């Protein structure tokens, strides 16, 4: 959605290393924003985005106006089913329907052989992979690991909303996820205990309001009660008026 940063640049570099031609789409998609969300103030940094694309040898930047992507009211959308029932989908009704719909449109327009998405939004990645599989699209979806600041905070276009005090508090999200993963690797199987430990860490900052922290299966993102194999630990928090998401994978030893 633009406001490109080093995380997006890693997507481009990964594609550049694996593909003959690289296209970047830049489109702030109104269909995935709720009525009270930040569509109008979402950061748009078009000159900076072009500079990042240019220095990484991108052949084509596709940045259509809204009227080109949605020339008429969008009556047909992509139903993503239970993949959107938990995590962010629980708190943002219709969000992933909007994401899947616009991604399908962009894939049909640009016709890539591969499409690269960051693991930071793991629910988005899982949904897009399943959409491509279920709808028999001839595209390979490639997940790229999350890029982080030195203190662990996942790079995000929304990080620029944080003031100095909020930015200092933000790495607690990654620390909480890391603590949960450490408990799993140490042999803890009870998800309620794992969540309790992470919530205790997050509660140490009065600036952080937890929206959710869940342990889910990696394929369909359904909440678990006990750990028996690989999982994803995902969370969303509010710091001031800024919503941040993050996730990491974990597996018992």
Catalytic site positions: 8
Query: What are residue 210's DSSP bridge partners?
Result: 237
- Paired tokens of 52: 């990042």
- In 3D space, the residue among 183, 157, 166, 151 whose CA is nearest the CA of residue 237 turns out to be 166
Count other Cβ atoms within 10 Å, centred on residue 182: 13
Burial class (CB in 10 A: 0-12, 13-18, 19+), 119: buried
Could you tell me if 250 and 231 are in contact, meaning their C-beta atoms sit under 8 angstroms apart?
Answer: yes
Q: What is the largest CA-CA distance in the chain?
A: 54
Determine how β-strand 208-216 pairs with β-strand 231-239.
antiparallel
Angle between helices 6-18 and 46-55 (to 10 degrees): 30
- Any idea what DSSP says for residue 224? -
Could you tell me if 84 and 97 are in contact, meaning their C-beta atoms sit under 8 angstroms apart?
Answer: yes
Query: What are residue 250's DSSP bridge partners?
Result: 231
Could you tell me if 170 and 162 are in contact, meaning their C-beta atoms sit under 8 angstroms apart?
Answer: yes
Helix ranges (H only) for 78-121 are 88-91, 95-110
């Amino acid at each position: 959605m633009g406001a490109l940063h080093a995380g997006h640049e890693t997507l481009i570099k990964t594609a550049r290393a694996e593909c003959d031609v690289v296209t970047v789409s830049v489109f702030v998609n109104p269909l995935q924003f709720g009525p009270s969300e930040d569509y109008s103030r979402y950061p748009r940094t078009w000159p900076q985005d072009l500079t990042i694309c240019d220095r990484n040898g991108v052949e084509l930047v596709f940045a259509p106006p809204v009227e080109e992507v949605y020339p008429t009211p969008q009556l047909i959308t992509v139903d993503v089913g239970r993949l959107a029932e938990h995590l962010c989908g629980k708190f943002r009704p219709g969000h992933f329907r909007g994401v899947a719909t616009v991604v399908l449109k962009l894939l049909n327009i640009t016709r890539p052989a591969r499409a690269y998405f960051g693991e930071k939004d793991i629910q988005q990645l899982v949904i897009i992979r399943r959409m491509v599989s279920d709808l028999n699209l001839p595209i390979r979806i490639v997940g790229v690991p999350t890029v982080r600041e030195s203190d662990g905070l996942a790079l995000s276009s929304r990080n620029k909303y944080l003031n100095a005090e909020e930015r200092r508090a933000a790495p607690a999200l990654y620390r909480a996820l890391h603590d949960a993963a450490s408990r799993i690797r140490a042999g803890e199987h009870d998800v309620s205990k794992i969540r309790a430990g992470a919530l205790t860490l997050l509660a140490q900052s009065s600036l952080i309001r937890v929206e959710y922290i869940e342990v889910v299966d990696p394929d369909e993102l359904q909440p678990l009660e006990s750990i028996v194999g690989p999982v994803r630990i995902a969370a969303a928090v509010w710091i001031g008026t800024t919503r941040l998401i993050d996730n990491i994978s974990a597996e018992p030893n």
